[in-house]
A and B are shown apart, each in its own frame.
Chain A
Amino acid sequence: MLKLAVGHSNDPDSLAAITEVLAQLRSQLSGQLPNAGLLFAAIDFEYAQILQKIDEAFPGIELIGGTTEGEMSSELGFEQDSLTLMVFCSKTITISAGIGRNVAQDAVAAATSAVRQAQAHHADNIQFCLTFPESLTISNEIILESLESALGKKIPVFGGLTAGQHPSKQTYQFCKTEVCRNSVPILLFSGPIQFSHGVANGWHPIGKAGQVTKATHNVVYEIDNRPALSFYHHYLGALPPTSEYPLALLDAESERHYMRAPSGIYDETIGSITFFGSVPEGAVVQITEASHDDILAASSQSVQQAIDSYPGKSPDAALFFSCVGRRQLLGSRTKEEHALAQQQLGETLPSCGFYTNGEISPLQDEGSPRIHNETFVTLLIGEA
């Protein structure tokens, strides 16, 4: 029996907010104690206090989470400056948390450490992994590759890169009662649990294509032998490149376009731009744009993909990882994204999610996990 509950508060006062969230959860759980949870919090809260309160309410809860650029749940829909907590109660499904620190310095060591901590509790094969890593100090592919090699290739990874108020200066990760920076928290699931996912973005390439002539990991220095910034300035004017105008790159493996969004970090003197995710040298890139309707149609498409490929009868919960760039373009229509998804899945299905600096999921069902940008990832889970 898998029981899920969701709490969500938009009270800016940390204590008031977590008190409200815990009260919501208790009323849904009717006395059951959850064994795991996911916490998504806006940037201005007192995280240590919040985590402490959660642990007091649900002792020993295997919880991970992180800071966000917008939160969503079946309780309040889309909110900003809010706090949402989803908890899992199951006697048969094993869920365990782990965290790797100093990921920017040694991603392999961090990922290995996180996996080792979390895996210790599992007798069965791991079904999938959730993760909410740091997004700004290291190329996110490196984190993902390290995680993939620590977990073994077959295990799907979902989640999103933690975010903060734009332009991002700092993000935080949570594991149990600990507030971390520069870390990679993970939550592993084993036992009778099943899941499916959908991935879509809605962005279209526009304008002339250019070729990346100089790049290292996620920093692009030159496009068509000219500073990367001038490629952006050509299309967007003097304003700095931001995540809602990503580059489209053609994926050699799937022959599909994937997105790389500027992180907001750039160097005016040498003209380089840092992206959420690496951009290989030689890649042919094109600037992209999307209308509100394109973005919302893609959200629906992502949810539909997940529904269509769900192996069981009906899922017990939905998780959404959407990009900050989508929120930024959608503006006041952002709430429609969650509302549409919830409508498609049924109003009573517990759901929870956040706006990330990079969405994590495989493209196809069996493919390697990837960092996406400008994308809406739907993850449906339920008891097998």
Chain B
Amino acid sequence: MLSNAAMSSQLEVQQLEKQNRVLHKKLERAEVTNLELEATTQKKETLLRQVILELRDSQATLESQSRELEQTCLDLQQAQIQLVQAEKMSSLGQLVAGVAHEINNPVNFIHGNIRHLETYLQDLLEFLALYESHYPQPVDEIRQAAEDLEIAYIKDDLTKILPSMSMGTERIRDIVLSLRNFSRMDEAECKAVNIHDGIESTLLILQHRLKSQSERPTIEVVREFAAMPPVECFAGQLNQVFMNIISNAIDALETSLKKNPKVQKAPKIVLRTEAYADNIVISITDNGMGMPAAVKDRIFDPFFTTKPVGKGTGMGMAISYQLVVEKHSGKIVCHSEEGIGTGFVITLPIRLKP
């Protein structure tokens, strides 16, 4: 018979033996589990890395899709501008051409008759002179009438009035010709033209804006024209470009003078042309206030304008860009420096490829 103490110590030994077995087994198991967990962690890492790579890929795909969409959106905006522009140009051109035609006939009528009028007057004056030489002492009534009518002055002034009228009708004829040039309704297709004619027409139309105003002096236009071959182009469209750039230049000069009334700077627009083997370069530069880079960078963006609401559409330069780059396979670049001025350089091929 075992004593109680012996029994409990035997039980204790059994307990310890069991604990030993369990611990031993747990240690073995822990090693296996550890290896399993290491492998699992490694797999999870690889999996997550791979998924991140795939996400990056799909992000890149999304970005490129979004760029494509942006481009499509830009293209659509351009197409819209083009349509609006085409419509506007078409109706404006018709109007201008119509007005020019209507004015042309009566002006020609006047201009044509001025020569006859001159001949008749000359004849009348000669006749009067002959009369005076044969009757040096007219009757009192005639002498009195000649004095009252200031015949001597009339004879003198008549010779001046007629050339002045002739010059006036000449001017009207020039303006009408410029309007027709500008609208070029008769030249909707591509033709080889003298670019200088287009520039001159534009200047003539803008003449009233270049002249001195109450608050500012005349804007000087400097022409540095080179000998120019005929350039194949849609002349009406290029005239529109010159118009946009020059009128912007005038706006810039006016703003500059208004903002800095104390600065003594004579407002000036320099028009310069150069001809090369395959292309020509037209640069239009003003000595206005220039633009900050942020404005310059967006100058060709559709609907971008720095003018007050209602003043500018923000379409002028966008249209110009499109007309030069897309319609004429040319280039248009803007240079600007704040306080110095702004210049546009247009490069056009002499021969327009279809």
- The answer to whether A binds B is yes
Contact yes or no, A236 B47, CB < 8 A: yes
Take A208-B54, A328-B36 as given contacts and tell me if A11 and B46 are in contact as well, using a CB distance cutoff of 8 Å. Answer: no
Please report which residues of chain A, range 151-169, place their CB below 8 angstroms from some CB of chain B when the two chains form the complex: 165-166
Contact yes or no, B21 A11, CB < 8 A: yes
B329 within 8 A of A: no
B37 within 8 A of A: yes
Partner of A12, one of B24, B36, B44, B47: B24
Closest to B50 in A: A235
CB 8 Å contact bits of A60-88 with B (1 = contact, 0 = none): 00000000000000000000110000000
Q: How far is the CA of A81 from the CA of B28 in the complex (A)?
A: 10
Take A13-B21, A81-B25, A245-B43 as given contacts and tell me if A331 and B37 are in contact as well, using a CB distance cutoff of 8 Å. Answer: yes
Contact yes or no, A207 B50, CB < 8 A: yes
Take A236-B46, A236-B47 as given contacts and tell me if A242 and B54 are in contact as well, using a CB distance cutoff of 8 Å. Answer: no
B-side contacts of A245, CB under 8 Å: 43, 47
Centre residue among A12, A208, A239, A289 by max chain B CB count within 10 A: A12
Contact yes or no, A206 B47, CB < 8 A: yes
Q: How far is the CA of A328 from the CA of B48 in the complex (A)?
A: 18
Partner of B39, one of A80, A81, A239: A239
B-side contacts of A237, CB under 8 Å: 42-43, 46
Closest approach, in angstroms, between the C-beta of A291 and any C-beta of chain B? 9
Contact yes or no, A12 B21, CB < 8 A: yes
A-side contacts of B39, CB under 8 Å: 239, 242
Closest to A20 in B: B18
Centre residue among B28, B29, B43, B50 by max chain A CB count within 10 A: B43
Please report which residues of chain B, range 14-70, place their CB below 8 angstroms from some CB of chain A when the two chains form the complex: 18, 21-22, 24-26, 28-29, 32-33, 36-37, 39-40, 42-44, 46-48, 50-51, 54
Contact yes or no, B47 A328, CB < 8 A: no
For chain B, the count of residues having a C-beta within 8 Å of the partner chain is 23
CB 8 Å contact bits of A8-19 with B (1 = contact, 0 = none): 001111001000
Take A207-B50, A207-B51 as given contacts and tell me if A289 and B44 are in contact as well, using a CB distance cutoff of 8 Å. Answer: yes
B-side contacts of A208, CB under 8 Å: 54
A91 within 8 A of B: no
A256 within 8 A of B: no
Q: How many residue pairs, one in A and one in B, have C-beta atoms under 8 Å apart?
A: 65
Q: How far is the CA of A239 from the CA of B47 in the complex (A)?
A: 11
Contact yes or no, A244 B42, CB < 8 A: no
Contact yes or no, A81 B51, CB < 8 A: no
A234 within 8 A of B: yes
A54 within 8 A of B: no
A95 within 8 A of B: no
Partner of A207, one of B28, B40, B42, B54: B54
Closest approach, in angstroms, between the C-beta of B254 and any C-beta of chain A? 62
Contact yes or no, B40 A81, CB < 8 A: no
Contact yes or no, A166 B36, CB < 8 A: yes
A-side contacts of B18, CB under 8 Å: 11, 13, 16
Q: How far is the CA of A188 from the CA of B32 in the complex (A)?
A: 36
A-side contacts of B50, CB under 8 Å: 207, 234-235
Q: How far is the CA of A332 from the CA of B29 in the complex (A)?
A: 12
B-side contacts of A287, CB under 8 Å: 47
Q: How far is the CA of A272 from the CA of B278 in the complex (A)?
A: 67
B-side contacts of A331, CB under 8 Å: 33, 36-37, 40
Closest approach, in angstroms, between the C-beta of A276 and any C-beta of chain B? 17
A2 within 8 A of B: no
Q: How far is the CA of A81 from the CA of B42 in the complex (A)?
A: 26
CB 8 Å contact bits of B70-95 with A (1 = contact, 0 = none): 00000000000000000000000000
- Mostly, the B contact residues are helix
A126 within 8 A of B: no
Contact yes or no, A235 B32, CB < 8 A: no
A-side contacts of B48, CB under 8 Å: 289
Closest approach, in angstroms, between the C-beta of A329 and any C-beta of chain B? 6
Closest approach, in angstroms, between the C-beta of B307 and any C-beta of chain A? 52
Closest approach, in angstroms, between the C-beta of A81 and any C-beta of chain B? 5
Partner of B40, one of A13, A80, A234, A329: A329
B-side contacts of A234, CB under 8 Å: 50
Q: How far is the CA of A242 from the CA of B41 in the complex (A)?
A: 12
A-side contacts of B28, CB under 8 Å: 81
Closest approach, in angstroms, between the C-beta of A67 and any C-beta of chain B? 15
Q: How far is the CA of A16 from the CA of B17 in the complex (A)?
A: 10
Take A207-B50, A207-B51 as given contacts and tell me if A328 and B22 are in contact as well, using a CB distance cutoff of 8 Å. Answer: no
Q: How far is the CA of A235 from the CA of B39 in the complex (A)?
A: 14
Q: How far is the CA of A328 from the CA of B46 in the complex (A)?
A: 17
Q: How far is the CA of A331 from the CA of B44 in the complex (A)?
A: 14
Closest approach, in angstroms, between the C-beta of B10 and any C-beta of chain A? 14
Closest to B47 in A: A235
Q: How far is the CA of A82 from the CA of B22 in the complex (A)?
A: 9
A-side contacts of B22, CB under 8 Å: 10-12
CB 8 Å contact bits of B225-250 with A (1 = contact, 0 = none): 00000000000000000000000000
Closest to A166 in B: B36
Closest to B24 in A: A12
Closest approach, in angstroms, between the C-beta of A130 and any C-beta of chain B? 27
B-side contacts of A81, CB under 8 Å: 25-26, 28-29
Q: How far is the CA of A236 from the CA of B18 in the complex (A)?
A: 41
Closest to B22 in A: A10
Closest to B55 in A: A207
Partner of B29, one of A11, A80, A242: A80
Please report which residues of chain B, range 183-224, place their CB below 8 angstroms from some CB of chain A when the two chains form the complex: none
Closest approach, in angstroms, between the C-beta of A245 and any C-beta of chain B? 6
Contact yes or no, A165 B32, CB < 8 A: yes
Q: How far is the CA of A289 from the CA of B40 in the complex (A)?
A: 11
B-side contacts of A329, CB under 8 Å: 40
Pull 6 A–B residue pairs with CB atoms less than 8 Å apart, ordered by A.
A13-B21, A206-B47, A242-B43, A245-B47, A331-B33, A332-B33
Known: A206-B47, A289-B48. 10 other contacts (CB 8 A): A11-B18, A16-B21, A80-B33, A81-B28, A206-B51, A236-B47, A244-B43, A245-B47, A289-B47, A331-B36
**4 cross-chain pairs, A with B, having the tightest CB-CB distances, nearest first:** A237-B46, A12-B25, A236-B43, A331-B37
